[in-house]
C-alpha cells in the first residue's frame, strides 16, 4: 500500500461525547497510528453529523438556531478528541459549505441518472434513528428496538433512491469478498437484511423537517440525513461530481471504515449502493465494532450510567490519556462488545502499564546506573533469543492489524513484555552483580533495554506519550518503521544518568500519584 485512508462514523451532535464515541475514535486512531509505522502516507477522517429533526427540535427548545446549537456541540467533540490525543487528519462537519454543495450535486446527479425519483409515501419513522422502519424492524410491542418508542406514522411525498437496483450487486460483492465486512459473522446479518430490501426515502418535506440540505432542484424538500451524512467520506476529500480534488484521487477508496455494529446496515447496504450509483470504488473493509457497556449494563440516560472520557480522566487525575486509550483499545476482541468499570480499568492499567512494562524499564535503567553509571560497555553488546521473540512479535502484531484485531495485537505485545520480565527473573542481574559477574550482568541489562526499544514502537499506537517517554530514555528513534526495526539501537557509551530516569507510568494508587487518583 502507498497510502492508508481510514474513517470513523461521524457523531450526531444532539448530545455530548461519551465513552462509546471515544471507543470508536481510539480504535481508529490506534489503527491509523499503527499503519503510520508501515506506510508513509496515512489519512484519518472524523467529524460530526449536524442535520435532522432531533437537532431542529432540541435547538428550538433551547431557543437558539440549529447552527448555533451545532457549533456549541461540535466543539465538545473536537475538545474530547484533543483530550484523547486522537490524531485525525481532518474533522468534517456536515454544515461545512463544501460538503453541502457536494451533497446537492450528488443528489442532482442521481435524479438525472434516474436512481432517485419522487414518490408519495406512508411509513413508520423513528426520529431517534432518523430512519424509516418496517413492521418487521419493530419489537413485539411495536417499538423501535433501539429507542424503545413507537415510531410515528409519516405520510408525505419524498424522493426515493432505487436501492433495489443494486441489491444483487451488493450481495455479490459481500459474497465475493469475505473480508469486506469485519468481523465476518456480521456479513450474514447484512445478507439477511438484503433479502427484503426496498427503495429508501432520501428526502423529507420541509413541512416536516426544515433543518437539512436543500434539494437543489426542489425547494420543498431537504436531503435525508443518511444520504447527507454518508457522503461525508468522499466530500471531505473533495469529491463533488463535476470537480474532483487530487486528494480524493489520492486517498479514495478507504482501506477501512470504522463504524458501530448498529449502523452497519446503513454502511454495508445504503452507502455501498450510493457508491455503486456514483460509479465509485468501494471501501476495502467495513469494521463494525461492538458496544461498550458500563459495569456490564448498556449505557442509558435513564439509568444515569453514561460515562464521558473526560470524567474518567478527571476521576483518576490523569495528565495523559494513554492509560484510557490502552484500556479502551484492548477492551474487546474485534467486533465484540466490551465493558468499562473503574475497578477493572485501574487493575488492568496498573498491571500492564505500570507493573509489567513501566517497572521493567525503570528498574533495568536503575540497575544500569547503579552498577555501571548508566554506561553500555562494548562487551555487553550480544545477540539474544529474546531478539528473535521480539521479531516474531512484530510479525504477529502486524498480522493482527491486517485484520484490524487491535485488542488481540495488544495481547501479543504484553506477551513479549512478560517474556522480557521472565528473562530478567531467570537471569537475575542483581545476583550476577553481587557475585562479581559484571560482564554477564551488563549483557542481561543490554538485552532487556534493546528489546524494550521494540516494545516502545509496538505500544506507540496505543500509548503515544508513554512510548515517547520510553524512547527518550532509551535514546531510540521512535519514527522507525516496523520493517526497519533492528536490535542494535543501544550503542556503546553513556546511555542515561540517574536524574534522567523517570517512571513512564505511575500506578493509579501510587504514593506519588495525586490523591484523587487513588480509587
Among the options 67, 82, 113, 147, which is catalytic?
Answer: 147
Any idea which of 149-158, 427-436, 445-454 has the lowest mean pLDDT? 149-158
Among the options 25, 34, 37, 126, which is catalytic?
Answer: 126
At residue 517, the pLDDT reads 43
Cell reading at 245: 480534488
147 is catalytic: yes
Query: Are the C-beta atoms of residues 197 and 164 closer than 8 Å to each other?
Result: yes
Among the options 25, 37, 105, 129, which is catalytic?
Answer: 129
Residue 269 pLDDT grade (very low, low, confident, very high; cuts 50, 70, 90): very high
Any idea which of 14-18, 254-258, 376-380 has the lowest mean pLDDT? 14-18
In a domain, 133, yes or no: no
Query: Are the C-beta atoms of residues 46 and 10 closer than 8 Å to each other?
Result: yes
Average pLDDT over residues 442-454: 98
At residue 394, the pLDDT reads 98
- Residue for cell digits 490502552? 326
At residue 516, the pLDDT reads 42
Residue 515 clears pLDDT 50, i.e. is over it:
no
Among the options 136, 301, 378, 515, which is catalytic?
Answer: 301
Cell reading at 216: 437543489
Cell reading at 20: 462509546
Residue 382 pLDDT grade (very low, low, confident, very high; cuts 50, 70, 90): very high
Residue 137 pLDDT grade (very low, low, confident, very high; cuts 50, 70, 90): confident
At residue 96, the pLDDT reads 98
Among the options 21, 25, 51, 400, which is catalytic?
Answer: 21
In a domain, 84, yes or no: no
| Mean pLDDT taken over the chain | 94
Residue 366 clears pLDDT 80, i.e. is over it:
yes
Query: Are the C-beta atoms of residues 339 and 23 closer than 8 Å to each other?
Result: no
CA separation (Å) from 99 to 10, 15, 113, 254?
Answer: 13, 22, 21, 18
Residue 511 clears pLDDT 50, i.e. is over it:
no
At residue 34, the pLDDT reads 98
Average pLDDT over residues 311-318: 91
DSSP state, residue 135: G
At residue 304, the pLDDT reads 66
Average pLDDT over residues 429-456: 98
Alpha helix (H) residue ranges in 197-351: 225-230, 232-235, 246-251, 264-265, 272-277, 309-315, 322-329, 342-349
Residue 384 clears pLDDT 80, i.e. is over it:
yes
In a domain, 465, yes or no: yes
Residue 302 clears pLDDT 70, i.e. is over it:
no
Residue 152 pLDDT grade (very low, low, confident, very high; cuts 50, 70, 90): confident
Residue 84 pLDDT grade (very low, low, confident, very high; cuts 50, 70, 90): very high
At residue 320, the pLDDT reads 95
Residue 107 clears pLDDT 70, i.e. is over it:
yes
Average pLDDT over residues 17-26: 96
Residue 73 pLDDT grade (very low, low, confident, very high; cuts 50, 70, 90): very high
99 is catalytic: no
CATH number at residue 364: 1.10.730.10
Average pLDDT over residues 390-410: 98
Residue 127 pLDDT grade (very low, low, confident, very high; cuts 50, 70, 90): confident
In a domain, 123, yes or no: no
Residue 27 clears pLDDT 90, i.e. is over it:
yes
In a domain, 430, yes or no: yes
Residue 154 pLDDT grade (very low, low, confident, very high; cuts 50, 70, 90): confident
Among the options 144, 441, 453, 463, which is catalytic?
Answer: 144
Among the options 67, 82, 113, 298, which is catalytic?
Answer: 298
352 is catalytic: no
In a domain, 479, yes or no: yes
Distance CA 474, CA 205 (A): 63
- Residue for cell digits 427503495? 199
Report the percentage of the chain scoring pLDDT > 70.
97
419 is catalytic: no
At residue 393, the pLDDT reads 98
129 is catalytic: yes
Helices and strands: H and E segment counts in the chain: 20, 18
In a domain, 355, yes or no: yes
Residue 157, number of CB atoms within 10 A of its CB: 12
Distance CA 35, CA 31 (A): 6
At residue 303, the pLDDT reads 59
Average pLDDT over residues 356-368: 98
Any idea which of 44-48, 142-146, 206-210, 473-477 has the lowest mean pLDDT? 142-146
For residue 420, the Cα-to-chain-centroid distance in whole angstroms is: 29
Query: Are the C-beta atoms of residues 224 and 244 closer than 8 Å to each other?
Result: no
144 is catalytic: yes
Range of the domain at 451: 342-517
CA separation (Å) from 373 to 276, 361, 380, 450, 475?
Answer: 65, 16, 14, 18, 16
At residue 92, the pLDDT reads 98
Cell reading at 484: 526497519
Torsion, CA 124, CA 130, CA 131, CA 136, rounded to 10? -60
CA separation (Å) from 176 to 172, 181, 284, 460?
Answer: 6, 11, 12, 35
Residue 34, number of CB atoms within 10 A of its CB: 24
In a domain, 248, yes or no: no
At residue 514, the pLDDT reads 43
Residue 291 clears pLDDT 80, i.e. is over it:
yes
The total of structural domains in the chain comes to 1
CA separation (Å) from 269 to 108, 169, 172, 276?
Answer: 21, 10, 12, 10
Beta-strand pair 213-215/218-223: antiparallel
At residue 243, the pLDDT reads 84
Residue 518 clears pLDDT 70, i.e. is over it:
no
DSSP state, residue 297: B
Report the percentage of the chain scoring pLDDT > 90.
84
Amino acid at each position: 500500500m502507498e497510502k492508508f485512508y481510514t474513517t470513523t462514523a461521524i457523531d450526531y451532535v444532539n448530545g455530548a461525547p461519551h465513552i462509546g464515541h471515544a471507543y470508536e475514535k481510539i480504535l481508529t486512531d490506534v489503527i491509523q497510528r499503527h499503519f503510520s509505522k508501515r506506510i508513509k502516507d496515512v489519512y484519518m477522517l472524523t467529524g460530526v453529523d449536524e442535520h435532522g429533526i432531533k437537532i431542529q427540535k432540541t435547538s428550538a427548545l433551547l431557543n437558539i438556531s440549529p447552527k448555533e446549537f451545532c457549533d456549541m456541540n461540535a466543539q465538545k467533540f473536537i475538545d474530547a478528541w484533543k483530550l484523547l490525543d486522537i490524531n485525525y487528519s481532518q474533522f468534517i462537519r456536515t454544515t461545512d459549505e463544501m460538503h453541502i454543495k457536494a451533497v446537492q450535486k450528488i443528489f442532482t446527479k442521481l435524479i438525472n441518472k434516474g436512481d432517485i425519483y419522487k414518490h408519495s409515501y406512508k411509513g413508520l419513522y423513528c426520529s431517534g434513528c432518523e430512519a424509516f422502519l418496517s413492521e418487521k424492524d419493530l419489537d413485539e410491542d411495536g417499538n423501535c428496538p433501539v429507542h424503545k418508542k413507537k415510531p410515528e406514522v409519516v405520510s408525505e411525498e419524498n424522493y426515493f433512491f432505487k436501492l433495489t437496483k443494486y441489491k444483487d450487486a451488493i450481495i455479490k460483492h459481500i459474497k465475493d469478498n469475505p473480508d469486506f465486512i469485519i468481523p465476518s459473522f456480521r456479513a450474514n446479518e447484512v445478507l439477511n437484511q438484503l433479502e427484503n430490501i426496498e427503495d429508501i426515502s432520501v428526502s423529507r418535506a420541509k413541512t416536516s423537517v426544515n433543518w437539512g440540505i436543500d434539494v437543489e432542484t426542489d425547494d420543498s424538500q431537504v436531503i435525508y440525513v443518511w444520504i447527507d451524512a454518508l457522503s461525508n467520506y468522499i466530500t471531505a476529500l473533495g469529491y463533488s461530481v463535476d470537480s474532483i480534488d487530487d486528494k480524493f484521487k489520492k486517498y479514495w477508496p478507504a482501506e477501512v471504515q470504522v463504524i458501530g455494529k448498529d449502523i452497519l446496515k446503513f454502511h454495508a447496504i445504503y452507502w455501498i449502493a450510493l457508491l455503486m450509483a456514483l460509479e465509485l470504488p468501494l471501501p476495502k473493509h467495513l469494521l463494525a465494532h461492538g458496544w461498550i457497556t458500563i459495569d456490564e449494563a448498556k449505557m442509558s440516560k435513564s439509568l444515569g450510567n453514561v460515562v464521558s472520557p473526560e470524567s474518567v480522566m478527571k476521576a483518576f487525575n490523569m495528565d495523559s490519556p494513554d492509560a484510557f486509550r490502552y484500556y479502551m483499545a484492548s477492551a474487546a476482541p474485534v467486533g465484540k462488545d466490551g465493558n468499562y468499570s473503574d475497578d477493572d480499568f485501574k487493575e488492568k492499567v496498573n498491571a500492564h502499564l505500570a507493573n509489567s512494562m513501566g517497572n521493567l524499564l525503570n528498574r533495568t535503567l536503575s540497575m544500569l546506573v547503579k552498577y555501571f553509571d548508566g554506561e553500555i560497555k562494548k562487551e555487553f553488546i550480544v545477540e539474544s533469543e529474546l531478539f528473535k521473540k521480539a521479531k516474531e512479535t512484530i510479525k504477529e502484531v502486524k498480522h493482527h492489524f491486517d485484520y484490524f484485531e487491535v485488542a488481540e495485537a495488544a495481547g501479543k505485545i504484553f506477551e513479549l513484555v512478560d517474556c522480557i520480565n521472565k528473562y530478567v527473573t531467570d537471569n537475575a542481574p542483581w545476583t550476577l552483580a553481587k557475585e562479581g559477574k559484571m560482564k554477564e550482568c551488563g549483557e542481561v541489562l543490554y538485552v532487556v533495554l534493546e528489546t524494550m526499544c521494540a516494545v516502545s514502537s509496538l505500544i506507540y499506537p496505543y500509548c503515544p506519550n508513554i512510548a515517547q517517554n520510553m524512547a527518550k530514555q532509551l535514546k531510540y528513534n521512535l519514527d522507525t518503521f516496523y520493517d526497519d526495526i533492528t536490535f542494535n539501537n543501544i550503542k556503546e557509551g553513556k546511555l542515561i544518568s540517574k536524574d534522567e530516569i523517570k517512571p513512564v507510568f505511575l500506578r493509579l494508587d501510587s504514593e506519588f500519584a495525586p490523591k484523587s487518583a487513588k480509587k
